[in-house]
Chains A and B, each alone.
Chain A
Amino acid sequence: MRELPKKLLSTFTPTRDMQYVDPKEFKKILAQATLLPVALSLFLSALFVLQIYSILDENNKVRHSDEVLNYAAKSLQWVIDSETGFRGYIITNNKTYLEPWKKASANFESSARNLLNAVRDNPMQVKDLENIRELYNSWLENANSTLAYRKKFNSTSTDYMIKKRKIYMDGIRSGFDQFNERERELRNTRWHKAEETSKEAILIIIGLGVFLGFVLSSISLMQLRRLSKNYTRAFDSLSAATEHLEETVAQRTHELVLVNKELEAFSYSVSHDLRAPLRGIDGFSQILADDYGDKLDGDALKYLGFIRSGVQKMGILIDDLINLSRLTRTEFKKDNVDLAILTEEIMQEFRVSEPDRKVAFTNFLPQKIDADKGLLRAALHNLISNALKYSRKKDIAHIELGQSFKDGKVTYFVRDNGVGFDMRYYDKLFQPFQRLHPKDQFDGTGIGLATVARIIRRHNGMIWAESEVGLGSTFYFTLG
């Protein structure tokens, strides 16, 4: 019976088909599905930062142009201030006007230097600015010589070199106009560029994001499809195998039923055919003894007696064998069994068959348990019969039935104060036809405990025993 499940399983050997879903590959896919999006979002963020930087850069350039324009306006203002101061002096001949002029011209110098510094990467602007400075310097020279002339000749004429100064001034103005015009243009292009860059950045990030998202989801989709296909295939083959397994189980069950029937037929014919000749031997020896006894001497009669006792023992043996085989063949049905009543019935049988025995019988077995009544009765009958048999030499046999709890399980026991057995031969105890006591002291076939063990095993229980020679034995069992 133990081999059967293995046999069943052997027909269900997993084939290569079963490895549709490689766990390694699954892990890889899982890693891809998590790492890829993380990597892509990192990449997108980096790109985003870069774009932001370039936008900021363009904006800085625009601001720089604004600054340049600002400086230019200031420089122009200083030029105008110088001119206004100088003109004030020329007209009024009041020297107080010369003070702002001097200040303005110094301021122009530093302002122009700043401006030059700001546009030094633009050669056109630098050139224009140099031009303006030259013109201003020329204007300053002119103004200084006018001042010197006035001092020298003490003249108050206003138009000395005035034309020339006007030309310088106009040159400066138009120079600044050109400078400003160019710078404004530059600023506009930069502004446009910044705008373009922002738009581009947004477009690139959105576009790339959408594109990468799309690629990512198609990769995931593909992998999922492949996985699901593999799973479907694995499932299909598994259910096919299950079907096959069911078929196999049905087949095996059928075979088992057949074998069982065969076994039944076999033991049936054993019980008939083995016993029939024995009956003949016994019957005719008896008839010989009865009808021809006067023609036979004592020895012959004694031998006839031997024949008969041998035959009868063999009859008992055959019966025991058949009982044993039948025990495991009959249908197993659990019922609510009243142990107290069952054991009392068994004891009553023994009281009738052995009325001379003095037995102190204590029964502490519980009221109801779940078991196959017929089988349990046979088991208890065997255990009690042994307890009685092997305590036969005691004046008063003590037989105790009881239960104890161990690891949350009930253990039942049958205890006697009989001759006991040698624990050295314990492994023979539950083997069929194995006996630990000689026949001339205790008769028996050695099938009883094998039967008990089978019954307990059918209940998924365990059986074991403890004994001490001369003191008695205890047989323990559990019921599943």
Chain B
Amino acid sequence: MKTIPYIFLIEDNEQDEILTIKALKKNKVLNEIKVARDGAEALDILFKEDAPQYAVDLPQLILLDLKLPKIDGLEVLKQIRCNPKTKLIPVVILTTSKEDSDLVSGYELGANSYVRKPVDFHEFAEAVKNLGTYWLLLNERAPV
């Protein structure tokens, strides 16, 4: 039996993690959600075949926070886009940052979308809803 493709959330803030998952669940996104707490862990999970927990399949969508411990979000994005195995996975940048430079370098490195996490939970839930609809339902997953 084929598992439902999972969503990979790379986020260091636990509260943000809970809120994101809540928002996804609220919008009836049923995919499994896997979480990495920093950039290094995220890269381990994606690229280390022998990693015990998450070696099964590749995620259907990556939600990437930019400000991460150890290896920052932009660097993670770069490595994802450089590796032939992962380069076609849609990556949505989730961030607090409003800095134009982040946005520009995010798109330059191949981010598919960019969601700014607003303070208002309603707004955030709305943004996640749009994002889920677009990247999980409408977009057929590109063949690996």
Residues of A whose CB lies within 8 Å of any CB of B are 268, 271-272, 275-280, 282-287, 308, 311-312, 314-315, 319, 322, 326
A287-B13 contact, Cβ under 8 Å, with A268-B99, A271-B99: no
Q: Is the Cβ of A287 less than 8 Å from the Cβ of B99?
A: no
Q: Is the Cβ of B67 less than 8 Å from the Cβ of A311?
A: no
CB distance from A304 to the nearest CB of B (A): 12
Other-chain residue from B96, B97, B124 in contact with A283 (beta carbon distance below 8 A): B124
Q: What count of chain B residues pass the 8 Å CB interface test? A: 19
Other-chain residue from B16, B98, B118, B121 in contact with A322 (beta carbon distance below 8 A): B98
Q: Which residue of A lies closest to B12 (CB)?
A: A276
CB distance from A281 to the nearest CB of B (A): 9
CB under 8 Å from chain A, chain B span 96-144: 96-99, 117-122, 124
Most buried by B among A268, A272, A280, A312: A272
Q: Is the Cβ of A276 less than 8 Å from the Cβ of B121?
A: no
> Could you pull out 21 A-B pairs where Cβ atoms are within 8 angstroms?
A268-B97, A272-B95, A275-B96, A275-B117, A276-B13, A276-B15, A276-B16, A279-B19, A279-B124, A282-B119, A282-B120, A282-B121, A283-B15, A283-B18, A285-B121, A287-B19, A311-B119, A312-B119, A315-B119, A322-B98, A326-B99
Q: How far is the CA of A280 from the CA of B96 in the complex (A)?
A: 12
Q: Mark B1-40, 1 if CB is under 8 A from A, else 0.
A: 0000000000001011011001000000000000000000
Q: Is the Cβ of A283 less than 8 Å from the Cβ of B22?
A: yes
- Consensus secondary structure, chain A interface: helix
Residue numbers in A under 8 Å from B96 (CB-CB) = 271-272, 275-276, 279
Residue numbers in A under 8 Å from B121 (CB-CB) = 279, 282-283, 285-287
Residue numbers in A under 8 Å from B22 (CB-CB) = 283, 287
CB distance from B117 to the nearest CB of A (A): 6
Q: How far is the CA of A272 from the CA of B67 in the complex (A)?
A: 8
Residue numbers in A under 8 Å from B16 (CB-CB) = 276, 279-280
Q: Is the Cβ of A279 less than 8 Å from the Cβ of B97?
A: no
Q: How far is the CA of A112 from the CA of B18 in the complex (A)?
A: 155
User: 17 more A-B contacts (CB under 8 A) besides A268-B99, A278-B119, A279-B124?
Assistant: A271-B96, A272-B67, A272-B97, A275-B96, A276-B13, A276-B15, A276-B16, A279-B15, A279-B118, A283-B15, A283-B19, A284-B19, A285-B121, A286-B121, A311-B119, A315-B118, A322-B98
Q: How far is the CA of A284 from the CA of B118 in the complex (A)?
A: 14
Most buried by A among B19, B22, B99, B120: B120
Q: How far is the CA of A397 from the CA of B117 in the complex (A)?
A: 35
Q: Is the Cβ of A280 less than 8 Å from the Cβ of B122?
A: no
CB distance from B65 to the nearest CB of A (A): 10
Q: How far is the CA of A473 from the CA of B36 in the complex (A)?
A: 55
Most buried by A among B98, B99, B117, B121: B121
